[in-house]
Amino acid sequence: MLAKKSLTLGVFLCLTLILSQFAFAEDTAALMGKADQLYLQRGQEGKAVEAARIYETILKAEPGNTEAAWKKARALFWVGGHSPEEKKLEIYSQAVESAKQAIKNDPKSAPAHFWLGASYGFYGNAKGVMESLSLIDPIKEEMAAVMELDPTYAHGGPDRVLGRLYFKVPGLFGGDNDLAMEHLEKAVKAGPNYFLNHIYLAEVYLDEEMNDKAKGLLQKVLAGPPSEGMEPEYVDWKAAAQRMLGKL
């Protein structure tokens, strides 16, 4: 009789565990969906911050969740780009750590490597070019990983990041406008409606006094439309293109 009761209790506990795990998976999916919806509304104040908080909630309960980790990094990347200068360094630092967590969970995650490299770049920009030269090689390494895993990720993302890197870094430390143009021209082909590619390439053209080429790219930005889902970024891109054209 005792053995029968122990068996019944064991079955009950197993069922309880299975049901609790199922419920947790449902909760995680619901939270992920809510955070994703908030991120889609990132153009509205506070939405990306709230998305990052929810991704963090998921990670506290499930540290091995690669998707939540890189999406948190992506959300923080947006937040950093729309924050006061004195807050950028801390926010990009958090994005770096979240992307590192994603890579630890899954070394083959192209999004994780991309957002780490991109966050390194903007973290370095917030620190100042001369103070962040040690990040040049890590950024190249992360983009090399993305190139291997998914070269077109983020609308030509790895070429965009590398092109920007070669443009911003002083020539003494490896900066090279020819390499910048090579990568950014590839990015434009990979993401013809992801207009940050065009803006970055136009900046290099202007630096090389290739004004007609720069003007053509900036006019494409103004003509639109952006890639689907990039409407919040397009507000910034269009404003940047207008400023640049105004100086020509």
- Whether 219 maps to a domain, the answer reads no
Which residue in 148, 145, 146, 188 sits closest to 164, CA to CA? 188
Which residue in 115, 97, 106 sits closest to 153, CA to CA? 115
Cut 0.85: pTM above it: yes
Q: Residue 115 sits in a domain of what CATH number? A: 1.25.40.10
- Whether 49 maps to a domain, the answer reads yes
The tally of domains found in the chain comes to: 1
- Whether 157 maps to a domain, the answer reads no
Joined together, the tokens standing for residue 40 give 């889609």
Rounded distance between C-alpha atoms, residue 123 and residue 129, angstroms: 10
Task: Give the residue-averaged pLDDT of 26-52.
Answer: 95
Which residue in 151, 143, 149, 147 sits closest to 121, CA to CA? 143
Task: Give the residue-averaged pLDDT of 73-99.
Answer: 97
Exposed/middle/buried for 174, CB within 10 Å: 0-12, 13-18, 19+? Answer: middle
Q: Which domain does 92 fall in, by range?
A: 31-119
Comparing 157 with 15, the larger pLDDT belongs to 157
- Whether 69 maps to a domain, the answer reads yes
- Whether 103 maps to a domain, the answer reads yes
Query: Could you give the dihedral angle defined by the CA atoms of residues 215, 218, 222 and 228, in that order, rounded to the nearest 10 degrees?
Result: 150
Rounded distance between C-alpha atoms, residue 55 and residue 67, angstroms: 9
Q: Is the pLDDT of residue 146 over 60?
A: yes
- Whether 73 maps to a domain, the answer reads yes
- Whether 98 maps to a domain, the answer reads yes
Look at the block and give the residue holding tokens 């590619």.
Answer: 197
